[in-house]
Structure 1
Amino acid sequence: MQQNMYCPECGEKIQAGDEFCPNCGKKIEKVESNTNDSSQDPVNETVELQRSKEIPTSNKPKRSVVLLLLVAVVGLIALYFGLKSYYEPQRQLNRIVSTMGNPDKNLAKYIETNDPSLQKKISNSNLKPTQKYFANNRQGLAVLKSTLAKGKTYQDSYSLVRSGNYWLLFPRYKVKVKPVYVTISTNYSGVKIFKNGKKVFTTTKNMQSKKIGPLFPGTYTFKATGQATGKRLSTVKREVLNATSSEIGLNLQMATFTLYGKANSVVYLNNKKVGKLNEEGLLTFKKYPLPATLKGYVVDNSNNKKKKSKTVNIKKILANGYQDIFFKFKTNSKSSASASSASASSDNESDDTADQSDQSSSVDTKNLTTQQVNDWIFVHLKKDYDFSVTEDDFIFDQQKNDAGILEITVYENSDSSEMQAHGADGDVSHRVGTYSIDSDGNLFDEDSNSVISTHYGE
């Protein structure tokens, strides 16, 4: 049987005996096939031709690579525009300003300065005074933002500057701050000066001053504690510092004055019993330590009846240059003492005939004096101590916030003998808590975010 033959080169069908492929011209070689039969029969010559077939190569791997490259390119483009939007100058400014007004956020990464000494102090903790200032001054924070956006300097202390790049592509912006250097002065030797509870220096002579810094702009609490004429004195000031600040006076104040009223009346200064008028109806104080506010009144206990005089603003009278203070009763009874001096002004408080311990129910908690606020807070503070404490063992720092609410931050007075006897560090004043008098006249604990008293003295 004649077999079909094909060209081994192109696969074209060829006829037996063809020497060349009629299609591609390939020379056809014959292959002889011999058998081992003894008959030696002639064997037909056959040419066995095969067609070579190519195995097709798949395109799937190439397509996958191209697809991955396209996805990567699209992803990089999206990332670029996303980062470009995130690092857009206005958005950077928004984040910076938001952080400056929030003491719970980390501000150090957004701050720089030209002062080498201050540069070393850049840290989140050292920048808390800056954040505290703006947290309590939202209007100032808004002005800061608009000022920086215009490329101007705020309070001669803050300016927005370019500082390198993010990802080598996007400009980085920071707030450059100017350092604050202030001179602190006080009037007695041996006075310890504290800044935010940390001792800065101790005076070695009277009328001494010292320049401190560099500091970051912001709100600071300064305190001076010392002794004069055997009495322990303390002065506390809260100051907002910026590059234009220069001096802070922390003089320990004392005054000599004489009180006049009805003979044998009991004298109260800042709601504390301090003595009695003598038979002549007078009591003299020499070099009396002056707190930020000093008011007083007397209580007449004669005739088995208690009667309270009008309250007098002693600090105000002393500031006007007078040293003789007169207490008057509503009945217009005259004091047995005589002196030519300015009569005391009244705080227009009612002349109740109740004992001091019974006065708390009639106190208008929306119009408390500085001392009354301290007394009210102290009622709750002393419960937390297992040893006897007085108000002198604490420092009451009072300030009004932007909403007009009185806020009081209380620190332990580490210089008091009682606190030191119980392990207080003389260089550190520990914060006890922060309180406020809300719009309803309630005593509010800012730390626990709750009202702790609705009636004065309770």
Structure 2
Amino acid sequence: MENNKFFCPNCGTEINRNVAFCPECGFNVKQYLDNLQKTPKDQPKEPSSKTTAQHSQPTPKKNRVVGSQAHPARPTQRAPRKPIKKWKVITSVIVLVILVGGYLFLNNYYSKKATANRLVTAIKQGQDKTLASLITSNDPSFKPTSSNVEPLVTYYGRNKDKLASLKGSLTSTGYVNDHLEFVNSGHKFLIFDNYKLKVKPIYPRIRTNKKNAKLSINGKVVANPMNTTDPKKFGPYIPGEYRIKTSATIHGHKLVNNGDYAWIDPSGYDLDIQSILQTISYTIKGQTGSKVYLSGKEIGKIDKSGFYDIKDYPFSQNMTVALSMKTQSGKVVSSKNTKIDMSMNNTTITPQYPGFASTDDAKDLINSVWGDLSDGTVTDSDSANDDDYDDYFVGGSTSDIYQQMIKMVDGYQNDDSISDYTMDPTLKKVVPYDTGQTKVTYDVKYSFDHDDHYHIQTFEYNAIIQKSGSDYKMKTNVMDHKVNDYDKDE
């Protein structure tokens, strides 16, 4: 063995004396050799020959003994930690990433905003099971299920604007109304917030006037028969849209009372329902040929007389009447719904069309247009300007009708054979014409005083009037034909 080589006293590996630590076991070679140099001179020297060294090679991990004297005890050395295997590091990193990622995901998933979004989506898409899982209540009698949350879905399905408002309330204060509130109801996995829609259930009190009546709520029979005419409490129900149906056979006639109720934030008064079984009779007035709708269902048409009679019809609290007709411009228009109550029994009802002039509206405009000419208020363009006569016409003073009226009355004023004149309009028919426009058919009776006799003429006109702000204005006015023409002695 070369002089700079020797065997590690700890593991027996051949190493260079110049290294500080054994590359195999990590033994502190330098410290060991330094200690040897400090040994007393009479200490036997380490054999130098290769043969002696081989015979005196120490047993690994044990102290070598020379003669009867042991080598000085080596300082205790801690072996360096073995390198951690690569796959363990990678696995640890992956597990850490999964744990951190899972926490971040669930923390966001169960956040107030994310939960509110899921709740609104469940309502919007009719996900009843999901919605039920996001609802809680302090009322132990109410347990949310996929079936009993449907009225809430129905209400917001019919009131889209309310759904947008609901989402804003959930993500801000959480307060919707006295029956709905978005609250943190505890924790998920002991860590994450658990937001839910806390519901205060409703208990409607329903009364009928017939003991043998059958009562159903949203299609489910809850009493058959009622057995009492006193108010009876039902529930609990989630706030939402409900239909109360009462039916009974009285004197051989089946009577039905249907009522729709939007109980989203009802007061105690709102929940007191009187489902009365009774009949009602009334007459509907409208244009000939108009279709008649009772609570949205077509039941007939207005006849040539301009009327449609309803006799002894089962009364419902939410009964409405409406008409639809084809206008003279070819468009089909519908009237507003007129709500029926028992005060209308044996009366005549005239449904009104939105944007169209009523008979009174048309009469007021026609009388004003001709009245100002007849009574002498307007006799020329100057007096018309002073009296704001142009306000009666679409386009004002640029209107062709306005110009014709001024020219006509100015001609009468300048006719020496006419000492006086009057113009008396009579309304004949008012019908919807087009969107926001109404056709008015009327007569005008002209009476000209020629001193010794009266010349009387009657002409029929067709005018189109349209809505302008809160008033109506004349858009067109066409003389259709002469009705009569005669003289009369004074």
Name the one with the larger strand percent: 2
